[in-house]
Amino acid sequence: MEKTRQNVTLVVEEDLLLAARKVALDQRTSVNQLVREYLTALVEEPGRRRLARARLRRAFETGLVEVGERKWSRDDLYDR
């Protein structure tokens, strides 16, 4: 099922729009697509961070992360 799209009007400085068009041209895409990708990343990023933190907490709690035995000394690290 295709998602409904809505048009949005933005007001930006001419220099910014020209620079964005150059970036879009270099990436073989459109300014519209650049804005869509940016907004998608902006919205999804907090969720991804939250998920990563939750996974890390679970790994620590369940002991899935093993450090192992320390086989070195501080002097070894600094060639003393």
Q: Where are the domains of the chain?
A: 14-63
Residue pLDDT, tens place only, 53-79: 888 888 777 776 667 788 888 888 887
What's the CA gap between 31 and 22, in Å, rounded?
A: 9
The model's pTM: 0.57
Mean pLDDT, the chain, whole residue set: 87
What's the CA gap between 44 and 17, in Å, rounded?
A: 25
pLDDT at 80: 62
Alpha-helical (H) ranges within 1-80 are: 14-26, 31-62, 74-77
**What pLDDT band is residue 11 in, cutting at 50, 70 and 90?**
very high
pLDDT at 70: 81
